[in-house]
Amino acid sequence: MIKAVIFDCFGVLIGDALKLEADKLWAAGREKEAKEFHDLLRAADLQLISVEETRQREAELLGLSIDELAKIVKTGEAVNWPLVDYIRSIKSQYKIGMVSNINGRSYIEAHFESGILDELFDVIVTSGEVGYVKPAPEIYQAALDRLGISGQEVVMSDDVEAYANGAAAVGIHPIWFHNLDQFKTDFHTILEATNGN
């Protein structure tokens, strides 16, 4: 029986502007720069490099000023309010978690009014806090430990297929997130299969 739902943050709950910028580098055939961009994001997520240093180099790789990149990030990191409303609607039935490749909770909190994250989520696990990035099984296991349930009782939704599937390593039912309607359909399919409804 499903007892909890875990959501990714960037690309699911909040837009992922930096991933879109990295994708542009890949699309332009700038593989070396795209790989460096990806590596910078990973290092920042693990707190191995400061956010300021990361943004400076990201801007250089994209041929932008720091201010131009900041505007892109601000515009591209809009909150998915329909998903927030959906989380509120299922909160009484399921424990709700978040697992995010980000250096800390404070960056996520900056997108919301005070108290909203605590209202929505029972646990929030960030890579900077636990020292692992998705799809390492340890980051998902940290969420399971805090929720106090087994992977077979959990659904994990992520916009990166490898990260969604990475959750399966600890028994979690993965959903590759494209949009809210698709998530709901896939979620109900899992509920029917696991709960016998």
Query: Tell me: the pLDDT tens digits for 71-104?
Result: 999 899 999 999 999 999 999 999 999 999 998 8
- The H or E element that residue 118 is part of is helix 116-120
Give 3-state DSSP helix, strand, coil % of the chain, rounded to 5: 55, 15, 30
- Overall fold of domain 4-14+78-195: Rossmann fold (3.40.50)
pLDDT in tens, 180-197: 999 999 999 999 999 764
Cα–Cα distance between 18 and 76 in angstroms, integer? 8
Q: Give 137's pLDDT tier (boundaries 50, 70, 90).
A: very high
The pLDDT of residue 22:
87
Cα–Cα distance between 170 and 81 in angstroms, integer? 29
Task: State if pTM tops 0.85.
Answer: yes
The pLDDT of residue 161:
95
Asked if residues 80 and 157 have their Cβ atoms less than 8 Å apart, the reply is no
Asked if residues 196 and 8 have their Cβ atoms less than 8 Å apart, the reply is no
